[in-house]
Chain A
């Protein structure tokens, strides 16, 4: 059994990169075949035939990372800073090879375009062991309000 404190420390580390945000360091936490998903509906099972707010594989994550710091990306002129608060961490599944499915509740306050916004969601991470720590194989962000009209968001949650 993986120690919960190790898992916590890893989730906090990911959050700290997003809080700054430091997408260059953040993206290195992900495997090459990873994907990052924010579904557009409750209990969404299909990211291909149903729209999502975000469904990025590593290639799209790399493009977004480059776009995020591009000097002519007008939507990124506004500072973007976040504060992740993570709780209710639970191990959903642990394989004999040490692959983990972790769920956590996260409240993220985002400062963007002169206002503070609150996002609340269940995060599901699929983690694989990597040199005493983990790499993220996938991250799913289930917002409590995926069907709501969303405002522009230019950072990963």
Chain B
């Protein structure tokens, strides 16, 4: 744990207000990296990114610590610290690829099996009678403290003590099930590449925005108006064929629509908006896709799967998924005022190609740094980052529908335009930062 003086987190986070230093103070950022990103389950990648033995994918588990996800000869997908047991050099430099034989450090040629164990040290006789023990695990590429996957989604954690992945996800696990169940074969796979988007603001802004349903009609008004006014000039047949005409206008949905979609929060900061309905609920259903779904699940179950229609699901703090669009965004902080978002698309196994086409279209319209939604969102986060430098008011408020949340055993539910998502996130934030066991929904 970093040697940073402890703070009184009660003075920084109240049930309805946050202190501005949460977004601007580099020391708080460092504490977040060790206490939130160092304890929570962090999304690493999907098993389909490493289909064969020796296939790997590299990333960071927080702002700095390099890790590699690699499939072993035993078909197990592991997550290892990407650090040579010798002098500490990062072993795997490329973002993804395949290793034949063994992982090999570029510095002194130490090599490792796909499970991270040390295979060979060059000119090993120099270590004879020195006390060096090649079998000591400290000289291997070490596994993360815990690694687990759920329906192909691989998570790892630096903590030995955090609860298991399934318990940690709690009721939010239903959204992973819904994403995968939308595939006629019940499985998804990464497809269609990745978009990386640099954000010059604090990493928490994007998480706060996911279920912030008071912003779309303001921030995205210009796009909705531009799209609707131009599409209205097209002949009706041409307009009907435009999938953008399904994707863009719901961003301008009314307060009432968003209120009705509801927000549901869970322990450890997870939440989603929608469920019964969402801005993705009125997408047309490709008849070939529907036929494949009915053939796999039957009509009733198929309708159930469609009916669970969420908008954004957050697995706090590193992953947000869109079940109905088969798209995920992976968050990685860099510094107190900088982070990167990776957007990945998924193919529904057994579904026609049109489904992936829509996913890809969605991602490039909405999630691209050169898209038509992301830059407006980022612009308002940037303004918050700048405005919060002002000491005129030390606080950010989130009172909406405070006191009206409905508390159940494993979740809290509230109105879609409430700040329930903020309450959920910052209960978890405080729990992690205080290193208490109270990261839950109901611990006020």
The answer on A and B forming one complex is yes
Report which A residues bind B (CB closer than 8 A).
38, 40-41, 44, 48-55, 59-60, 62-64, 66-67, 70-77, 113, 147-154
A53 touches B195 (CB 8 A): yes
Residues of A within 8 A of B204 (CB): none
Is B368 engaged at the interface, CB distance under 8 Å to the other chain? yes
Chain B count of residues within 8 A CB distance of the other chain: 47
Report which B residues bind A (CB closer than 8 A).
95, 191-198, 200, 218-219, 221-223, 225-227, 229-231, 234, 242, 244, 248, 340, 343, 345, 353, 356-357, 360, 363-364, 368-372, 374-376, 378-380, 382-383
Bound complex: CA A153 to CA B231 (Å): 24
User: Would A153 and B370 be within 8 Å (CB), given that A73-B223, A113-B382 are in contact?
Assistant: yes
Q: Can you show 7 pairs from A to B with CB atoms below 8 A apart?
A: A40-B195, A50-B192, A51-B343, A63-B223, A63-B372, A71-B222, A77-B379
| Contact of B345 (CB < 8 Å), options: A51, A76, A77 | A51
Residues of A within 8 A of B219 (CB): 74
B230 touches A59 (CB 8 A): yes
Bound complex: CA A113 to CA B194 (Å): 25
Q: 9 closest A-B pairs (Cβ-Cβ)?
A: A70-B222, A73-B222, A66-B226, A150-B369, A149-B196, A152-B375, A67-B226, A75-B375, A149-B198
Bound complex: CA A60 to CA B361 (Å): 12
Q: Beyond the given A51-B360, A151-B200, could you list 14 further A-B residue pairs with CB under 8 A, ordered by the A residue number? A: A50-B192, A51-B364, A52-B368, A53-B195, A53-B371, A54-B371, A55-B364, A63-B230, A66-B225, A73-B223, A147-B95, A150-B196, A151-B198, A153-B375
Smallest CB gap from A115: residue in B: B200
Bound complex: CA A38 to CA B195 (Å): 12
Query: Which of A38, A66, A149 counts the most B-chain CB atoms under 10 A from its CB?
Result: A149
User: Would A74 and B379 be within 8 Å (CB), given that A49-B353, A152-B369 are in contact?
Assistant: yes
Query: Which of A52, A54, A113, A148 counts the most B-chain CB atoms under 10 A from its CB?
Result: A52
Q: In the assembled complex, how far is the CB of residue B183 from the closest CB belonging to chain A, in whole angstroms?
A: 16
Dominant secondary structure of chain B at its interface with chain A: helix
Residues of A within 8 A of B353 (CB): 49
Residues of A within 8 A of B357 (CB): 48-49
A66 touches B192 (CB 8 A): no
User: Would A72 and B195 be within 8 Å (CB), given that A151-B369, A154-B375 are in contact?
Assistant: no
A54 touches B364 (CB 8 A): yes
A54 touches B368 (CB 8 A): yes
Smallest CB gap from A151: residue in B: B198
Residues of A within 8 A of B244 (CB): 59-60, 63
Smallest CB gap from A61: residue in B: B230
Bound complex: CA A92 to CA B285 (Å): 42
Q: In the assembled complex, how far is the CB of residue A151 from the closest CB belonging to chain B, in whole angstroms?
A: 5
B198 touches A41 (CB 8 A): no
Smallest CB gap from B332: residue in A: A149
Residues of B within 8 A of A149 (CB): 196-198, 340, 369
B376 touches A63 (CB 8 A): no
| Contact of B193 (CB < 8 Å), options: A51, A72, A77, A154 | A51
B229 touches A66 (CB 8 A): yes
Residues of A within 8 A of B374 (CB): 152
User: Would A147 and B196 be within 8 Å (CB), given that A55-B364, A72-B221 are in contact?
Assistant: yes
User: Would A152 and B192 be within 8 Å (CB), given that A59-B230, A67-B223 are in contact?
Assistant: no
Bound complex: CA A151 to CA B381 (Å): 14
A148 touches B230 (CB 8 A): no
A74 touches B380 (CB 8 A): yes
